Homo-oligomer: A and B are copies of this chain.
Amino acid sequence: MKKVGVAILGLGVVGGGTYRILTDHAEFFRTTQHVDITVESVLEKNRERALALGVPAEKLAANIAEVVLDPDVNIIVECMGGVTDAKDYDLDALNAGKTVVTSNKELFCKYWHELERAAKQHNAGLFFGASCVGGVPVIRTLLDGLQSNEISSLVGVINGTTNYILTEMCERGIPYEAALAEAVARGYAEADPAADVEGYDAAYKLSILSSLAFHTKVPYSKVCREGITKVTAADIRNAHELGYTVKLLAVGKNTPAGIEVRVHPAFVAKGHPLASVGGSYNAVFITGDCVGDVMLYGKGAGDLPTGSAIVSDILYAATHTELHYATFKNTAAPAKDVKFVSDFESAYYLRMKVADEAGSLAKIAAVLSHGGISIERLMQRTDGDSAEVVLVTHVTHESAVANAVHKLTANGSAEVCSVLRVL
């Protein structure tokens, strides 16, 4: 039986889950995959943590060189997090001809081309199935399951922390700050939650998924990014009343005008399959020209779900000797003829305060109409001297809405409190 040695760099949540799966399932993999996988080496600064997880002391490596030089190590799993050290270590591994399996989305989205170049030069495998959407095999599906399709669109709920916060806000009507505090207390959010709530994490993943879906490098810098910190309980209530729920969406589209990639909170109609993706669950809704709509749903994070993706990559690497890389050119930049669209099309939700006097609504309607924006639904509520106007537009351009909001504010006809896109 083929023997494969694995090293794990970083025994945090994901590395720990990976270690546990590999050790608990060793016999299962021998039976079902006909491969004998052993963890040969672990690199972890916190020696106590590693020993507590059951790693034998003699398998603890002192440094990356020791791991890379170990002839028994064939595959190096990197789940250290961070970019600088992880990049150096991954390159060291690839340059030594070791196959790298990583869950590091920030690193991979930023340095994909450097890693892939090193992998090709040294005939090493490079796997990143765990970098997006935990154990849900979206990357394997894009590479090997839907590769017959020209994919026009990919819409995902791909960040568990923000989905937990927004689900709590939607279901219990609590404000953002309370939901965030709860997410931190329960371990769903970091003490510094910026990477999640400001949409960075989702943007890294969208960069990777869109690059695969659209067969060209979609740099992280092209992603229009907006977090969930400005979503209010009032917006959530209005969404509910209008038949929507609110999600942080990652949207990638390949249109005749170009590629658009954006991460932002959005209204999602309650009948849409993505609307019922609650709590820490994730899903990606993919539209291909042959297959139509496909959705993949599951847990987007956690030790065993993400470990599931890492170990699936290890098994794939261990049972395939042919090396496959991403199918677009190995380059840091998109192909020259690829255009990116930032003035994309969408429907919009607007919430604004107006003076409760005759003609207020007429002024708003005039500004929108002048900007070519037509209104699909409108609600008005009066509260003392001022009134709240809530409306949903038909599909229009991002720039048209920005201009209209600017005009409404400038001419004093309304104070625009919220602007959210509608899926």
Write the residues of chain A forming the contact surface with B, with a CB cutoff of 8 angstroms.
17, 21, 25, 28, 31-34, 129, 134-137, 140-141, 144-150, 215, 273, 276, 288-299, 302, 304-305, 307-312, 314-316, 319-322, 324, 327-328
Contacts and interface: CB of A to CB of B under 8 A. Distances in A.
A290 B307 contact: yes
Contacts of A150: 25, 28
5 contacts: A33-B327, A140-B141, A147-B312, A293-B299, A320-B322
Contacts of A307: 148, 290
Contacts of A308: 146, 148-149, 288, 290-291
A302 B291 CA distance: 9
Contacts of A146: 135, 137, 308, 312
A98 to B, nearest CB: 20
Contacts of A135: 146, 288, 290-292, 294
Nearest to A305: B291
Contacts of A141: 137, 140-141, 145
Contacts of A316: 144, 147
Number of copies: 2
Nearest to A216: B32
A144 B32 contact: no
A164 to B, nearest CB: 15
Given A33-B147, A137-B146, 6 more contacts: A141-B141, A144-B316, A147-B315, A148-B309, A276-B276, A294-B297
A304 B291 contact: yes
A273 B292 contact: no
Given A148-B315, A321-B322, A328 B32 contact: yes
Nearest to A310: B148
Contacts of A291: 134-136, 298-299, 304-305, 308-309
Nearest to A214: B32
A309 B322 CA distance: 22
B324 A319 contact: yes
A274 to B, nearest CB: 11
Contacts of A273: 276, 297
A142 to B, nearest CB: 10
A21 B322 contact: no
Contacts of A276: 273, 276
A298 B304 contact: no
Nearest to A145: B137
Given A32-B147, A140-B141, A149-B308, A292 B299 contact: yes
Contacts of A309: 148, 291
Given A140-B144, A146-B308, A146-B312, A298 B294 contact: yes
A336 to B, nearest CB: 15
A146 B32 CA distance: 12
> Which among A276, A310, A314 has the greatest number of chain B C-beta atoms within 10 A?
A276
A336 B316 CA distance: 28
A276 B149 CA distance: 25
A147 to B, nearest CB: 5
A195 to B, nearest CB: 23
A41 B78 CA distance: 47
> Which of A25, A32, A145, A321 counts the most chain B CB atoms within 10 A?
A145
